[in-house]
């Protein structure tokens, strides 16, 4: 998919363009009710971690968002206005992000905020943006705690929340692997709680019995006993949803214990499949191994190629991480909602437009969809079979049905 | 029964590593009264140092040696360039506060350096040196890597014991650790001895890191393991070398038994509950001297 045609398709999909006039040009007239908008431009505060230990989570996604906005500007902007970005570094740190958000709103007087790559940092801005009534569209933070329960001005989870990850994993395990029993290993934090809640719900819906549930601290040194208990329960499938280090320790135990049942790992557990194999010291544990992905293909698959080509053209000196593509749907959503909000948008009309947005990104596993009471954008995953050397996409897209219901 | 034995076996191995790190902390504490908060990050830097040398296609033993020696130099340099100056230019209780703060500073410098070198992106490991099928004893299977870790830790402990007990230098170091003022009176160069203690303690931390990296994996935050070494020290008695070793092993076993009989979530809390219990019931640790032997920092 060519990027220009994606933009054109979206414009037509949203019913705002025409065959002759793909890029909406209106007749903007001031004065404007909100700051950050003139006849010529809309100012957007774009932020993510540009430095610090968590830089990898957001540096490339922010670049992806930036290149989308550049493309929109080169195509004429939105309703005749160019997008002007004010870019800031939040270091994925709650205190820094709060300072960045306040500065963007009060000093730079942006129209809206597009940023946040780490949930704890992004959540910390919620109270402020709600009070100031400034729309904030998260960049690539999962943001469970920011989006459940939904609040008016905060949107996100373009790569899915942990509800999505947990729910879709069980959907896959039940439908594709035909499992009846499941051993679960997850985090003992908020992330893990959300993931497990969805996994439990979906297991009940699909008739899968959770025979072992082990939740481990993020800094666990020895994972022997949780894995012993899972082995003792002898489940049809082992599901691992921890952060990478405990997940790698768990796979070491799968290898050491000689477990032969399929293992399904969450996307956050396996940022680099090759590194996982290296750390385990061989491919024996990967005979029946799968992992989830919020993208529509392998990162080097044909459906992702256009994003990588576009990124390479925009930033020839950078080698993008696997997270890169996650940043673009967020910017897509912002531009589409600005189009829907009409030639003279306000922050409120932008929020209303976001609340009715539904579009295909050409990047993610499923559509981005918000609603009057829905602020998490994506609810689907694909699954990849990995034998330690080769990776292949499994057929189908798997959907989470859990949205916090009891 | 098999599950318990398996959990205990794994706990002993993990505990042996806690013990090694705790030995490094205790050496420094006994000789300088300084709690070394950088102990875990010296271990972490040792792991990444070995990884860098391995990346240059060096054999593992060369990487391990270079790493251990390199961290020894960092430890000695830190003592001479930072702690020694603090000791000479600060008075009274402020010395301890300044020294402990300096070790926290060293911890952040080491962590920041490793991150700046681009190692923060993923979990890494060092190649295991003891490979092959596990050894079965009844229901319990023992990994060769675990047996190797335990053997190396025991060997390191034995070498340290022999060095401190039977060599002239070792006795000088012990004298400095026990009573620096008396050691100085009988002509022991205590500045040099302290620098040596920092070098040896740092080398032990690096050795522990190289040993355990294939088992616990490497991230720039792995130095947090030092908290468990502190726990081992408190349990065993912070001034007692054999007590610290036993404290480390006990801690590893307790963690796993709690994981088995309570829940995996309780593993993180267990060491601190044990610390509190020990501090309340026997503040000098299980194998420490009388309560009055606890010194204020």
Q: Is residue A9 domain-resident?
A: no
Q: Is residue A7 domain-resident?
A: no
Shortest distance, CA A223 to any CA of chain B (angstroms): 8
DSSP, res B40: H
**Which residues in chain A are contacts of B143 at CB distance < 8 A?**
256
Shared domain for A149 and A167, answered yes or no, is no
Q: State which H helix or E strand residue B79 sits in.
A: none
Shared domain for A193 and A252, answered yes or no, is yes
* Per-residue model confidence as pLDDT tens digits over A213-272: 999 988 888 899 999 999 999 999 999 999 888 999 999 999 888 899 999 999 989 988
Q: Is residue A23 domain-resident?
A: no
What chain B residue is nearest to A249 in terms of C-alpha separation? B216
Locus of tokens 């190797």: B148
Residue of B152, B146, B150 lying closest to B134 (CA atoms): B146
Task: Tell me the average pLDDT across A61-70.
Answer: 96
Q: Is residue A79 domain-resident?
A: yes
Shared domain for A98 and A141, answered yes or no, is yes
Is the model's pLDDT at A26 over the cut of 60?
A: no
Shared domain for A246 and A203, answered yes or no, is yes
Locus of tokens 């576009």: A310
* Per-residue model confidence as pLDDT tens digits over B125-138: 898 888 877 888 87
Q: Which of A3-12, B51-60, B256-265 has the lowest mean pLDDT?
A: A3-12
Locus of tokens 């904030």: A136
Shortest distance, CA A175 to any CA of chain B (angstroms): 29
Helix (H, G, I), strand (E, B) or coil at A292: strand
Helix (H, G, I), strand (E, B) or coil at A210: strand
What chain A residue is nearest to B134 in terms of C-alpha separation? A256
- Give Rg (Cα) of chain A: 21
pLDDT of residue A30: 63
Other beta carbons less than 10 A from residue A145's beta carbon: 18
Shared domain for A389 and A249, answered yes or no, is yes
Asked whether the beta carbons of residue A53 and residue B123 sit closer than 8 angstroms, the reply is no
Which tokens belong to A95?
């205190």
Which tokens belong to B73?
């130099």
pLDDT of residue B45: 96
- Residues of chain A above pLDDT 70, percent: 92
β-partners of residue A392 are A385
Q: What is the mean pLDDT of chain A?
A: 90
Asked whether the beta carbons of residue B265 and residue A216 sit closer than 8 angstroms, the reply is yes
Shortest distance, CA A50 to any CA of chain B (angstroms): 13
Q: What is the DSSP string of B120-152?
A: -SS-B-PPPSS-SSPEEETTEEE-HHHHHHHHH
Asked whether the beta carbons of residue A222 and residue B216 sit closer than 8 angstroms, the reply is yes
Is the model's pLDDT at A405 over the cut of 80?
A: no
Locus of tokens 């499941």: A182
- Asked if residue A31 has a cis previous peptide bond (ω within 30° of 0), the answer is yes
Closest CB from A56, A188, A279 relative to B123: A279
DSSP, res B82: I
Within 8 A by CB and 6+ apart from A406, the residues are none
Asked whether the beta carbons of residue B123 and residue A248 sit closer than 8 angstroms, the reply is yes
| Secondary structure percentages of chain B, helix, strand, coil, to 5 | 75, 5, 20
Q: Is residue A353 domain-resident?
A: yes
Asked whether the beta carbons of residue A281 and residue B256 sit closer than 8 angstroms, the reply is no
* Per-residue model confidence as pLDDT tens digits over B85-123: 998 887 776 788 899 999 999 999 999 899 888 777 778
Give the residue from B15, B111, B123 with the most A CB atoms within 10 Å of its CB, the best one to mutate.
B123
Shared domain for A113 and A132, answered yes or no, is yes
Sort A131 into a burial class: Cβ within 10 Å, 0-12 / 13-18 / 19+.
exposed
Shared domain for A48 and A148, answered yes or no, is yes
pLDDT of residue A132: 96
β-partners of residue A78 are A81
- Four-residue CA torsion sign, A328, A332, A335, A338: negative
pLDDT of residue B116: 85
Is the model's pLDDT at B240 over the cut of 90?
A: no
Cα–Cα distances (Å) from B263 to A213, B211, B215, in that order, read 10, 28, 21
Strands (E) across B127-264 are located at 135-137, 140-142
Q: Domain range for residue A229?
A: 162-293+383-399
Locus of tokens 């303690």: B201
Chain B interface with A: residues with Cβ < 8 Å: 3, 6-7, 10-11, 14, 115, 120-125, 127-128, 131, 134, 141, 143, 214, 216-217, 219-221, 224-225, 228, 252, 255-257, 259-260, 263-265, 267-268
Q: Which of A215-229, A323-337, B61-75 has the lowest mean pLDDT?
A: A215-229
Shared domain for A307 and A363, answered yes or no, is yes
Q: Is residue A27 domain-resident?
A: no
Shortest distance, CA B37 to any CA of chain A (angstroms): 18
Shared domain for A275 and A352, answered yes or no, is no
Shared domain for A326 and A365, answered yes or no, is yes
Shared domain for A284 and A168, answered yes or no, is yes
Closest CB from B122, B125, B267 relative to A220: B267
Q: State which H helix or E strand residue B297 sits in.
A: none
Which tokens belong to A266?
């969450």
Is the model's pLDDT at A17 over the cut of 70?
A: no
Is the model's pLDDT at A406 over the cut of 70?
A: no
What are the boundaries of each domain within chain B?
2-222
Contact A118, A323 (CB under 8 A): no
User: Cα-flanking dihedrals φ and ψ of residue B221, to 5°?
Assistant: -95, 5
pLDDT band at B66 (very low <50, low <70, confident <90, very high): very high
Is the model's pLDDT at B235 over the cut of 60?
A: yes
- What is d(CA B169, CA A352) in angstroms, rounded to the nearest whole number? 77
Chain A interface with B: residues with Cβ < 8 Å: 53, 55-56, 188, 214-217, 219-222, 224-226, 228-229, 232, 244-245, 248-249, 256, 271-272, 275, 278-279, 281, 321
Other beta carbons less than 10 A from residue A180's beta carbon: 15
pLDDT of residue A12: 42
Complex ipTM more than 0.85, yes or no: no
End-to-end, the C-alpha distance of chain A in Å comes to: 41
pLDDT of residue A39: 92
Which tokens belong to B40?
């875990």
Asked whether the beta carbons of residue A272 and residue B122 sit closer than 8 angstroms, the reply is yes
| Secondary structure percentages of chain A, helix, strand, coil, to 5 | 40, 20, 40
pLDDT of residue B95: 83
Shared domain for A142 and A244, answered yes or no, is no
**Which residues in chain B are contacts of A225 at CB distance < 8 A?**
7, 10, 256-257, 259-260, 264, 267
Question: What CATH number did the domain enclosing A310 receive?
Answer: 3.40.50.2300
Interior angle at CA B3, CA B273 and CA A265, nearest 5: 85
Q: Is residue A307 domain-resident?
A: yes
Q: Is residue A18 domain-resident?
A: no
- What is d(CA A172, CA A126) in angstroms, rounded to the nearest whole number? 33
Indicate the number of domains in chain A.
2
pLDDT of residue A18: 36
pLDDT of residue B294: 44
Contact A61, A139 (CB under 8 A): yes
Closest CB from B6, B124, B216 relative to A221: B216
Within 8 A by CB and 6+ apart from A302, the residues are none
């Amino acid at each position: 998919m060519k990027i220009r045609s994606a933009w054109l398709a979206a414009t037509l999909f949203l019913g705002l363009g025409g065959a002759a006039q793909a890029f909406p040009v209106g007749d903007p007239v001031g004065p404007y009710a909100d700051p950050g908008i003139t006849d010529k431009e809309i100012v957007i505060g774009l932020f993510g971690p540009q430095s610090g230990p968590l830089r990898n989570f957001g540096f490339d996604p922010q670049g992806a968002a930036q290149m989308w906005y550049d493309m929109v500007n080169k195509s004429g902007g939105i309703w005749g206005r160019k997008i002007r970005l004010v870019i800031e570094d939040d270091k994925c740190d709650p205190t820094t992000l709060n300072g960045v958000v306040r500065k963007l709103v009060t000093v730079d007087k942006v129209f809206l905020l597009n940023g946040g790559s780490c949930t704890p940092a992004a959540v910390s801005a919620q109270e402020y943006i709600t009070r100031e009534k400034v729309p904030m569209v998260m960049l690539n933070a999962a943001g469970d705690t920011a989006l459940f329960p939904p609040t008016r001005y905060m949107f996100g989870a373009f790569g899915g929340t942990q509800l999505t990850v947990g729910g879709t994993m069980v959907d896959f395990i039940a439908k594709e692997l035909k499992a009846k029993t499941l051993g679960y290993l997850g985090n003992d934090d908020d992330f893990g709680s959300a993931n497990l809640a969805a996994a439990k719900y979906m297991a009940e819906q699909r008739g899968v019995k959770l025979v072992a549930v082990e939740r481990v601290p993020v800094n666990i040194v020895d994972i022997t006993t949780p894995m012993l208990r899972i082995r003792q329960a002898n489940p049809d499938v082992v599901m691992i949803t921890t952060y990478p280090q405990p997940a790698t320790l768990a796979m070491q135990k799968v290898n050491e214990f000689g477990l032969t049942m399929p293992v399904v790992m969450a996307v956050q557990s396996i940022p680099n499949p090759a590194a996982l194999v290296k750390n385990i010291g061989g491919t024996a544990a990967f005979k029946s191994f799968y992992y989830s992905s919020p993208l529509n293909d392998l990162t080097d698959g044909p459906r992702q190629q256009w994003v990588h080509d576009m990124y390479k053209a925009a930033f020839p000196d950078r080698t993008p991480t696997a997270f890169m593509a996650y940043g673009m749907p967020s910017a897509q959503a912002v531009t589409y909602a600005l189009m829907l909000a009409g030639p003279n948008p306000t922050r409120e009309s932008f929020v209303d437009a976001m609340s009715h947005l539904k579009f295909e990104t050409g990047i993610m596993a499923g559509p981005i969809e918000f609603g009057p009471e829905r602020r998490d954008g994506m609810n689907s995953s694909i699954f990849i079979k990995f034998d330690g050397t080769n990776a292949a996409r499994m057929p189908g897209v798997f959907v989470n049905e859990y949205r916090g219901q009891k | 029964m098999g599950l318990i034995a398996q959990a205990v076996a794994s706990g002993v191995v993990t505990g042996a590593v806690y013990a090694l790190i705790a030995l490094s902390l205790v050496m420094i504490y006994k000789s300088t009264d300084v709690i070394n908060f950088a102990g875990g990050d010296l271990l972490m830097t040792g792991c990444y140092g070995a990884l860098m040398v391995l990346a240059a296609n060096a054999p593992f033993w060369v990487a391990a040696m270079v790493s251990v020696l390199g961290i020894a130099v960092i430890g000695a340099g830190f003592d001479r360039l930072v702690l020694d100056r603090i000791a000479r230019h600060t008075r009274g209780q402020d010395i301890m506060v300044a020294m402990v703060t300096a070790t926290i500073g060293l911890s952040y410098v080491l962590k920041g350096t490793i991150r700046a070198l681009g190692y923060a992106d993923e979990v890494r490991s060092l190649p295991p040196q003891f490979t092959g099928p596990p050894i079965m004893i009844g229901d319990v299977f023992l990994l060769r890597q675990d047996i190797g870790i335990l053997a190396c830790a025991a060997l390191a402990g034995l070498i340290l014991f022999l060095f401190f007990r039977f060599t002239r230098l070792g006795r000088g170091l012990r004298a400095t650790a026990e009573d620096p003022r008396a050691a100085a009176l009988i002509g022991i160069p205590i500045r040099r001895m302290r620098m040596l203690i920092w070098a040896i303690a740092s080398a032990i931390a690096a050795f522990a890191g190289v040993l355990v990296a294939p088992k616990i994996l490497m991230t720039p935050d792995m130095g947090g393991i030092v908290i468990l070494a502190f726990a081992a020290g408190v349990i065993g008695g912070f001034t007692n070398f054999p007590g610290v070793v036993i404290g480390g092993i006990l801690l590893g076993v307790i963690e796993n038994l709690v994981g088995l009989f309570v829940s995996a979530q309780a593993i993180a809390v267990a060491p601190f509950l044990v610390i509190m219990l020990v501090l309340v019931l026997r503040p000098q640790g299980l194998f420490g001297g009388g309560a009055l032997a606890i010194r204020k920092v």
